[in-house]
Amino acid sequence: MDVWFEDTAMGRYVAQNEAAFFERHLQYFDGQTVVQQGGQWLRSSENVVAVPRDVLMTADAMAWESHSIDVLLMPHSHETAALTQVLHEASRVLKPEGRLVLTGFNPKSLWFFSKWFDGARLPKKEHCLTLPALKQRLGDLDFEVEFGKFMVYLPAVNSQKGLRFWRFMEKAGDRWWPQCAAVYGLVLVKRMAGVTPLPEFEKILGTQTVALGAARISD
């Protein structure tokens, strides 16, 4: 897939859009531990630990310690046969309130009539989830959507001339059919359930916290 992003006209166009999406949000994470999983075409900064530029590992078996990363960037890294394991690994390595920033291909776009989704140039169609389906998977792992963006409304053309001709569809698509974009980007927050004292115990407990067991319910 890196070759498609680097060597085709449409690939470079999509890469520029996605790079702008990631860079927009990276500015808010200065000084935090940021890791980029995959996407060699995405030119990450020196402050980002990138796989495989700096280390070698797979997205479904990350070598990072649990709860050790503030921000995890995943440009299409979840679109593999090991989707469930990749998402679980992302949840494991992120700190509580950490961010998962990802991009994915939208199965509801016109692109899915093309032959690009062959598992070599782009992921296989069955590995690409609609946005509601992905959000459901992520919700099961206690991720909440903080920000979302649809990108690229051009049809599946592969020449600079075609890109210029269809460029008008960017504004039209963003206004009239955003759910049909070829790519979406998400910023997600990993939520962790906390323990909060019940109001009637606050005076007794003071600054202490307590975990209450299951209540006994009678008929």
What is the tens place of the pLDDT at every residue in 17-58? 999 999 999 888 888 999 999 998 887 777 899 999 899 999
Single pTM value for the model:
0.84
Cα separation, 76 vs 27, in Å, equals: 21
The DSSP line for 155-202 is: -S--SHHHHHHGGGHHHHHHHH-GGG-SEEEEEEEE--------GGGH
Distance (Å) of CA 76 to CA 35, 37, 38, 73, 158: 14, 9, 8, 9, 20
pLDDT of residue 163: 94
User: Which pairing describes strands 69-75 and 34-37: parallel, antiparallel, or unpaired?
Assistant: parallel
The DSSP line for 26-78 is: HGGGTTS-EEEES-TTS---TTEEEETTT---BTTB--SPTT-EEEEEEESTT
With a cut of 90, say whether residue 129 has pLDDT above it. yes
pLDDT of residue 85: 95
Q: Write out pLDDT tens, residues 179-213.
A: 899 999 999 999 986 544 444 434 444 444 444 34
Which region among 83-97, 101-115, 128-142, 204-218 has the lowest average model confidence (pLDDT)? 204-218
> Do the beta carbons of residue 161 and residue 174 sit within 8 Å?
no
Smallest CA-to-CA distance from 144 within 96, 195, 108, 112 is with: 96
Q: What is the mean pLDDT of the chain?
A: 87
High-pLDDT (> 90) share of the chain, %: 68
pLDDT band at residue 166 using 50, 70 and 90 as cut-offs: very high
With a cut of 50, say whether residue 218 has pLDDT above it. no
Average the pLDDT over 130-135 and give the result. Answer: 92
Q: Is the dihedral of CA 89, 146, 106, 71 positive or negative?
A: negative
Q: Which CATH architecture has domain 1-206?
A: 3-Layer(aba) Sandwich (3.40)
pLDDT of residue 193: 67
Query: For residue 58, how many C-alpha atoms fall within 13 Å in the half-sphere facing its CB?
Result: 9
Cis peptide bond upstream of 52, omega within 30: yes
The domains of the chain are located at 1-206
pLDDT of residue 194: 54
